[in-house]
Amino acid sequence: MGHEFKLAVIGLDTSHAVELPRLINDRKMAPGLRVTHCLSFATPFQNAAGLLARKAELNGFGVTVTENYAEAVANCDGVMLEINDASLHLAYFERCAALGKPMFLDKPFADTLDHAKAIDRIAQRREIRYFTASPLRFDADLVRALCVEPLTVDSATVWGPFGKAAAGSSLIWYGCHALEMLERIMGGGALSVTVGADRRGYVGHVRYADGRRGIVELTDDGGRYGGVLREWLGRERLFQVSGVIPYYQMLVREIAAFFLNGAQPVTREDAFEVMALLEAFDRAAQSGRTEMVDRSWENA
């Protein structure tokens, strides 16, 4: 066997810290890539019993779990930040940046747009390749809806669940999945967000500079994702995230392309568009007013 690209996972408070290494260490899914170590530490998102259970799972497919940072990153070729608590993303990104290795930063980008900009400044200063994404932006059903026959999308509605975050904003923590689908469909240029709350969750209206609109429905109905793409006075296309091809698998393909082939699955611009949308959505839900999307990142 030739050289394997060794990954260190930082964090164990999210199910992604188990599910992604499980797929990566399947030789058929990501040949040439292997997760060797994981750094475990407590956050409000996982108790000690949960961390021990996940440690046992990772051990089962060859991953060494440790609470020692130096041991976790020794001899790694790249890093995956798998931390549910988004308030820790900046600190751990900065710590890992000293390694000078490429990094995948699991969703959301950060807990605030300012922290996302700080992460990007660190990456630029140290010349570190990174990307951040929700697996939903790569879902096969969404990609098929976009690509099977191109539409000139004038408006889109997407829906997905929201959950209660153990710390920080629940909308930023879990609303990122639906908003990332919207950004994948609509691209950039969001100007403002208006959000209403009802007994089932939140409905957001996103206004774009060129007159397009996006609707985001976040509900507590147990995890269904989907959407509708519409042309102006023309066709519309429904998609449902079926799971026939699991979106974790699609994300792992992108992770492998990033680490092994130098691909950039998500641009800096797309990552910041999602983060700015999330922050505006969160502000609008709290204030009850229309909130402008902060586009200061474009000049950062």
Q: 187 falls in which pLDDT band (50, 70, 90)?
A: very high
List the domains of the chain with CATH numbers.
5-133 (3.40.50.720), 136-245+276-299 (3.30.360.10)
At 1 the pLDDT is: 47
Q: b/e per residue, 11-35, with b = 16+ CB within 10 A?
A: bbbbebbbbbbbbbbeeeebeebbb
DSSP, residue by residue, 217-263: EEE-SSS--EEEEE-TTS-EEEEE---SS-HHHHHHHHHHHHHHH--
Question: Which range (16-25, 42-51, 124-133) has the least confidence?
Answer: 42-51
In the structure, what pLDDT confidence band is assigned to residue 3 with cuts at 50, 70 and 90?
confident
Q: Which of 109-118, 213-222, 246-255 has the lowest mean pLDDT?
A: 213-222
> Is the N-terminal amide bond of 108 cis, ω within 30° of 0?
yes
Where is average pLDDT lowest: 67-81, 139-153, 276-290?
139-153
User: pLDDT tens-digit profile of 203-245?
Assistant: 999 999 999 999 999 998 777 999 999 998 888 999 999 999 9
**pLDDT at res. 73:** 98
The answer on pLDDT for 191 being more than 90 is yes
pLDDT (tens digit, 9 = 90+) per residue, 65-100?
999 999 999 999 999 999 999 999 999 999 999 999
User: Is pTM beyond 0.85 here?
Assistant: yes
| Share of residues in the chain with pLDDT > 90 (%) | 89
- pLDDT at position 104 is 99
Element (H, E) at 36: strand 33-39
189: left (phi over 0), alpha (psi -120 to 50) or beta: left
